[in-house]
Amino acid sequence: MASSKKEKPDLQKRVHEVPHKPGVYLMRDRFNRVIYVGKARDLRKRVSSYFLPSKLAQADLKTRAMLDATWDFETHTVRSEAESVLLEGKLIKEYRPRYNVSFRDDKRFLVVRVDHSEEWPRFRLARFKKDDGSRYFGPYAHAGALRQTLNFMRKKFGVLTFGRGAPTERELKSSTYQVPVRLSEISAEQYRERVAQAGEFLEGKSREMIAALEEQMQKAAEKMDFEKAAELRNMINDLRSTTRPTRRFTRGSLPSTIDPLADVQALADVLRLPRAPRIMECFDISNISATHVVASMVCFRDGVPDKDNYRRYRVRTVEGQDDFASMAEVVRRRYSRVLLEARQANPDAAEFSQENAAETLARISSHPKRSETKSRDPAAKPQSNATGFLDSARNDESFVAVRLPDFIIVDGGKGQLSAACRELQRLGLHDLPIIGLAKEREEIYRPGHGLPLRLPMDSPALRLLQRIRDEAHRFANAYHQLLMKKRVEESILDDCPGVSQNRKNLLLRRFGSVNRLRKASVEEIAATEGIGRKLAEEVHEFLRRH
């Protein structure tokens, strides 16, 4: 009898395909989960070193465990070593691999902040970009090079760095600020011109200045002043490292080694879809606890996330943890809403008459259990009209705000797919392409096919499906954590003397959250129905102490 256990692939054979370029590499386990992210100046040298027998014999326990768990790897090239550092940090924060220690906390790369609302703006270091009206530069991978660049800017442009407020007496008279003239001899407006020049330099408009420094370095070397030449050389390297244009990698983004449109076309070819699906929607259920069962719907447009059209749901009608019923509820709510909004936006649509709209909405609002027993004739008029309406919603520009997707993915196997298909049938959307993606073996379930489809792990189509599914999973878990955090905050009121469950509900209904209640005054709390002045003072004092 043949063993069903998968055989671990020989990854050493694939090493010669890795380029000699800077970039990042991801190690994946047998379930295709990312377990380690690393960076390298030369990807082939770094990745190949993991699979050398001599290297493995000398590896520490953590590295050996990681390699034992590694069943696949992938690489992504970037343009410079600095970019590889930035991308490595972003991917570690996104995937949180169990074999990575660094970057898993809340540390961020440095950025430079200039607050132009100040009379004398300063160039300061920060960890976060905020929506506060300031101008930000970065992020920067090398903190040391950045600090040296700010020192150079202070001397070259005569701008203020670090500190706060207007220039101090020392800063006004210091010899550091003698280029082009002392700060004490210029106005705030003249100083702002210096800030603008320094900002252009930090943005990368520094070629002429670096060329002048290189010329000084050559002259120092010709005069045998090697100490000065070495100092200038280090300064030039720091400036190039800081002012070189660098891509900013947002959450979920990868370099251009991934071609989203090509992956979409590959998916259409593998599944034999009538056309490449421009808009894809994926559903995931998160039922970590029965307290809050939530779901997410993420949308990808042309193979990349369309975050403006993400949706999240709290499951209302399902008791306990029932993935199938939860999936049915969310799919029903999503597409009944789309149909209803489209009907309201296009009341004169010929393909969706008032009678059919009423019948469709009746099917939408009918009880799920009653609907399941209802036979459905594919040739029935409501379905054909809804299908015609679907075609209009896809093609008519007036439907853009409420258009239906070209392709649906549900996270799960046969059960989740069947539940979603039943709801689409009730809505008359039986022509919408839909699949289920089962996580354990990455099997693709399709309506009308008894056996699942399994694609190679390096298939672009499968990688696209995994990116969509993982994004839906992340979005659902984030919502779940948000609700759990809110629940924990609300439970603080349970320990407040004199606050019953009814009064707790009144306070939360009035203020929306414990955080807002904490910021409220005694008078505002006392204005809540059922809360007197004395209790308001007790609540205010309790939240101040806790």
What's the pLDDT tens digit per position in 340-380? 887 777 666 544 543 454 354 444 444 443 333 333 333 33
- Same domain? For 385 and 451 the reply is yes
For the cut 80, the answer to whether the pLDDT of residue 316 exceeds it is yes
Where does a domain end: 429, 457, 485?
A: 457
> What is the phi-psi region of residue 242: left when phi exceeds 0, alpha when psi lies from -120 to 50, beta otherwise?
alpha
Residue with tokens 């607050």: 115
- Same domain? For 91 and 114 the reply is no
- Same domain? For 236 and 324 the reply is no
For 210, the token pair is 């670096």
Where does a domain end: 35, 64, 95?
A: 95
CATH number at residue 41: 3.40.1440.10
Which of 269, 315, 286 lies closest to 469, judged by CA? 286
Give whichever of 27-41, 197-211, 280-294, 469-483 has the largest mean pLDDT.
27-41
- Same domain? For 315 and 449 the reply is yes
How large is the average pLDDT for residues 498-517?
76
Does a structural domain hold residue 59? yes
Return the pLDDT at 328.
94
φ and ψ at 438, to 5 degrees? -80, 130
Which of 536, 498, 497 lies closest to 517, judged by CA? 536
Does a structural domain hold residue 86? yes
- Same domain? For 307 and 409 the reply is yes
Distance from the Cα of residue 112 to its chain's centroid: 23
Please, what is the Cα angle at 390 between 346 and 345, to 5 degrees?
Answer: 15
Does a structural domain hold residue 395? yes
Where does a domain end: 408, 436, 457?
A: 457
For the cut 70, the answer to whether the pLDDT of residue 49 exceeds it is yes
Q: What is the pLDDT of residues 170-202, one digit of tens each?
A: 777 665 655 556 676 777 787 888 888 788 777
- Long-range contacts of residues 457-460, Cβ cutoff 8 Å, at least 24 apart: 457/32, 457/72, 458/72, 459/266, 459/270, 460/259, 460/262, 460/263, 460/266, 460/267
Does a structural domain hold residue 487? no
For the cut 50, the answer to whether the pLDDT of residue 142 exceeds it is yes
Return the pLDDT at 270.
93
- Same domain? For 326 and 429 the reply is yes
Which of 252, 270, 260 lies closest to 437, judged by CA? 270
- Same domain? For 310 and 397 the reply is yes
Helix (H) or strand (E) holding 438: strand 434-438
Which range, of 57-66, 214-223, 487-496, averages the lowest pLDDT? Answer: 487-496
Return the pLDDT at 465.
94
CATH number at residue 522: 1.10.150.20
For 392, the token pair is 């209009």
Q: What is the pLDDT of residues 405-444, one digit of tens each?
A: 999 999 999 999 999 999 999 999 988 999 999 977 789 9
Predicted model pTM: 0.47
Does a structural domain hold residue 491? no
Return the DSSP state at 320: S
- Same domain? For 296 and 405 the reply is yes
Q: What is the pLDDT of residues 287-315, one digit of tens each?
A: 765 556 888 999 999 999 999 999 999 88
| Helices marked H in 70-113 | 81-95
**Number of domains present in the structure of the chain:** 4
| pLDDT grade for 506, boundaries at 50, 70 and 90 | confident
Return the pLDDT at 4.
47
- Same domain? For 437 and 515 the reply is no
Which of 19, 149, 23 lies closest to 86, judged by CA? 23
8 A C-beta contact, residue 127 and residue 165? no
For the cut 50, the answer to whether the pLDDT of residue 1 exceeds it is no
Quote the strand ranges of 260-398, DSSP E.
Answer: 279-286, 294-301, 304-305, 311-314
For the cut 80, the answer to whether the pLDDT of residue 141 exceeds it is no
Per-residue three-class SS string for 396-415: CHHHHHHCCCCEEEEECCHH
Does a structural domain hold residue 376? yes
Return the pLDDT at 279.
95
What pairs with residue 300 in β-bridges?
A: 280, 305
In Å, how far are 94, 314, 442 from 306, measured between CA atoms?
Answer: 18, 21, 24
- Same domain? For 288 and 203 the reply is no
φ and ψ at 252, to 5 degrees? 85, -5
Return the pLDDT at 121.
86
Range of the domain at 176: 110-243
CATH number at residue 324: 3.30.420.340
Return the pLDDT at 6.
64
Report the SS3 class of residue 472. helix
For the cut 50, the answer to whether the pLDDT of residue 332 exceeds it is yes
| pLDDT grade for 96, boundaries at 50, 70 and 90 | confident
377 or 516: whose pLDDT is higher?
516
217 or 299: whose pLDDT is higher?
299
Does a structural domain hold residue 193? yes
- Same domain? For 84 and 122 the reply is no
- Same domain? For 91 and 118 the reply is no
Does a structural domain hold residue 36? yes
